[in-house]
Amino acid sequence: MKKKRIAFVGTGGRALSFIEPLATTYRETNELVALCDLSPARMDYYNKMLAGDLGYHAVPAYPAARFDAMLAEQKPDIVFVCSKDDTHHDYIVRALRAGCDVITEKPMTIDAAKCRAILDAQRETGRSVRVAFNYRWAPFRTKVKELIASGTIGRVHSVNLEYLLDTNHGADYFRRWHSRAAESGTLLVHKSTHHFDLVNWWLDAIPEQVFAYGDLVFYGKENAEKRGDAALTKYPRYTGEPAAKHDPFRLDLDESAPFRGLYRAGEKDSGYLRDQNVFRPGIDIPDQMSLNVRYRTGELLTYSLVCYSPREGMRVCFNGDRGRIEYHEFIGTHMNRAVRPKDFKLDEKPGAEAEGEWIKVYPHFKPSYLVPMPAATGAHGGADEILNRSFYAPDAPAKDEWGRFAGHEQGAASILVGIAGVESIKRNAPVNLTDLVPLRPEAKHLSELV
C-alpha cells in the first residue's frame, strides 16, 4: 500500500497531537514528509522529538516563505494546517491549488472574505478540505447526538449553551495572539467555533441569523486598574519577571521542556511571546459574549461565553416538544502545554474541581432519568484519539455513522456564526449569514453540506 504523504504547516503546541500519532501509531500507512513554520527553532524541536523519543526520523524543515517550494519538492498528498488562525486561508488555498487535499485545525478561517476564498478555491480545484472539529468526536458528546437523533425529546425547538472558561484556560487566550481580533477573529471565532459546530451538528441544522453582544470587562490594563489590581499590570510578560512571582495569572515558559523548546527558543526567529501579561494594553477582543441564533429550520440558540470564571465547563439544555435534555460537562481545567498524549493531565487549580459529565432526560409527564455515559479518557475527553484514527487509519470508513466528518461547507457554517456575531456587535443589529457568504442557500440541514 502506498503511504499517504503528509506535510504540516504550523508547529506550535497543537500540532503535536496530530504529528505524534502519525509518526507512531499510523506510520505504516502514512509518511510525514515535511514541516513548515515561521520559526526554525520550533521545527528543530519537532525534528529532535521525531528522531528521538518518537523513534521516527527528522524531516525537511521549510521556512514559511518557502511553503510553495515545500509543496513542489515534497509533493504531499495532504497538507495539515496548524498555523495561526489568520493564516489558515492562505495555506489552504495555496495547497488546494497545488493539487493537495487539506486538513485544517479549527477554525477554518477568521472572516467572511477569507472564507469565500477557501470555498472558491475548493470549487475550482475539486480537492477536499476537512476541519478538525475534535469536539464532535468525544464519546459523551456523540451520546447527546444519538439521543437527539433518535427523537428522545421529540423535535428540538431551542437550545441554551453556556460555556465557562476559567482564569487558567480562559486567561491563556489573553496571553497570546488570540487577544488580537485581526489574528484570531475574536474568541467568537477561535473558541466558540467548537460550540457553534456542536449545536449545528447536534441539531443537523444550518444557522441563518445572529444577534450578539460582547464586551471586554475583565482582562486588559484598564479593567485591572478600575478594580484595584494595578500592581498586576506593571510588567509586559511573566517569564523572568521577579515581580510576577506571586501573580495568579503568571505563566512561566521556563517551567517545562516543551515551553522552552517551542516558545522560549522560538522568540527570536518568530517574534512570538507566549506569556504576555493578560492585563496589558492593546487587547481588543471581548472576554464575555452573548448571542442568539436562528436556524434555517426554525430552532433558536441562546449562547454565552465567559472567559474569567472561577470554574470551567459547559452546560447545554435542549427543549423539545416531548421533553428536555440537560447536558453538563465540568471535567476540570487545562491549557495547551504542548505535551504528548501520555503526559496530558488536567491542571490542579483552586476552583478547578472536575465534577464529570452527565446527561439527564426530562420527558413530558414521565419521571426524569440519567443516561449512562460512555467511557472517555485522554485529551479533549477522548476525542483526539478517535479523530486521529479517522484521519490516518487505513480502514477508517469513508462515512461516519454520526456524521462527524466536517468538510469546508460545515466548517464555514460554524465560523460564520462567530463572524456574524462579531459583525452584529459592531452594527448593534442582526446579521444574516448569507449576506456574508452565500452558503448553499437552498440547503436546510447541516448533513446536506460537505
Q: Is residue 148 a part of any domain in this protein?
A: yes
Whether 338 is in a domain gets the answer yes
Considering the domain boundaries, does residue 304 fall inside one? yes
On whether both 213 and 226 belong to a single domain, the answer is no
Residue of 88 and 331 predicted with greater confidence: 88
| Confidence at 160, pLDDT banded by 50, 70, 90 | very high
- How is residue 3 annotated by DSSP? P
What pLDDT, on a 0 to 100 scale, did the predictor assign at position 355?
74
According to the model, what pLDDT value does residue 82 have? 98
Position 350 scores a pLDDT of: 62
pLDDT surpasses 60 at 61: yes
Please tell me the distance from the alpha carbon of residue 40 to that of residue 62, in angstroms, as a whole number.
8
pLDDT at 378 over 60: no
Please tell me whether residues 247 and 291 are part of one structural domain: no
Q: How far apart are the C-alpha atoms of 160 and 21, rounded to whole Å?
A: 36
Rounded percentage of the chain residues whose pLDDT exceeds 70:
94
The verdict on residue 421 lying in a domain is yes
Residue 38 domain-assigned (yes or no): no
Identify residue 419 by its one-letter amino acid code. I
Other beta carbons within 10 angstroms of residue 179's beta carbon come to 23
- Domain CATH number, residue 182: 3.30.360.10
pLDDT digits (tens, 9 = 90+) for 128-153: 999 999 999 999 999 999 999 999 99
Residues 390 and 312 in one domain: yes
Q: What is the pLDDT of residues 292-304, one digit of tens each?
A: 999 999 999 999 9
- Separation CA 138–CA 24 (nearest Å): 22
pLDDT at residue 204, rounded to an integer: 98
In a domain, 79, yes or no: no
Which residue pairs, CB below 8 angstroms and at least 24 apart, start in 296-300? 296/205, 296/206, 296/207, 296/208, 296/443, 296/444, 297/203, 297/205, 297/206, 297/444, 297/445, 298/157, 299/156, 299/157, 299/158, 299/159, 299/203, 299/205, 300/157, 300/158, 300/159
Residues 185, 232 within the same domain: no
What single string gives the DSSP state of each residue in 127-172? Answer: --EEEE-GGGGSHHHHHHHHHHHTTBTBSEEEEEEEEEEETTHHHH
pLDDT confidence tier of residue 173, bands split at 50, 70 and 90:
very high
The tally of CA atoms less than 13 A away on the side-chain side of residue 141 is 27
According to DSSP, the residues that pair with 361 across neighbouring strands are 325, 369
pTM above 0.85, yes or no: yes
Helix, strand, or coil here: 223?
A: helix
Mean pLDDT of 324-334: 87
Residues 145, 203 share a domain: yes
Domain holding 190, by residue range, is 135-219+283-448
CB-CB neighbours of 348 under 10 Å:
11
pLDDT band (50, 70, 90) for residue 374 = confident
pLDDT of residue 377: 61
pLDDT range class, residue 373, cuts 50, 70, 90: confident
CB 233 within 8 A of CB 280: yes
Mean pLDDT over all residues of the chain? 94
Q: Are residues 250 and 397 in the same domain?
A: no
Q: What are the tens digits of pLDDT across the range 178-218?
A: 999 999 999 999 999 999 999 999 999 999 999 999 999 99
Q: What is the torsional sign of CA 399, 402, 405, 409?
A: positive
Domains in the chain: how many in total?
A: 2
Would you tell me the crossing angle of helices 16-23 and 40-51 to the nearest 10 degrees?
30
pLDDT digits 0-9 by tens, 402-432: 999 999 999 999 999 999 999 999 999 999 9
1-27: per-residue pLDDT in tens? 799 999 999 999 999 999 999 999 999
pLDDT in tens, 222-236: 999 999 999 999 999
Q: Please state the rounded mean pLDDT for residues 338-362.
A: 71
Is residue 231 a part of any domain in this protein?
yes
pLDDT band at residue 399 using 50, 70 and 90 as cut-offs: confident
The domain boundary residue, chosen from 211, 244, 270: 270
Question: Do 396 and 327 have their domain in common?
Answer: yes
Considering the domain architecture, whether residues 140 and 171 belong to the same structural domain is answered as yes
**Do 295 and 353 belong together in one domain?**
yes
Please tell me whether residues 378 and 317 are part of one structural domain. Answer: yes
Asked if 261 and 358 sit in the same domain, the reply is no
Confidence (pLDDT) at 2: 92
Q: Residue 160: which of 305, 302, 330 has the closest Cα? A: 302
212 within a domain of the structure (yes/no): yes
pLDDT at residue number 398? 82
Whether 290 and 411 share a structural domain: yes
**Could you tell me what percent of the chain has a pLDDT over 90?**
88
The pLDDT value given to residue 316: 98
Cis before 394 (ω within 30): no
Give the pLDDT mean for 162-173: 96
Q: Is the pLDDT of residue 325 over 80?
A: yes
List, for residues 264-320, the tens digit of each pLDDT value: 999 999 999 999 999 999 999 999 999 999 999 999 999 999 999 999 999 999 999
Q: How far apart are CA 381 and CA 376, in angstroms?
A: 5
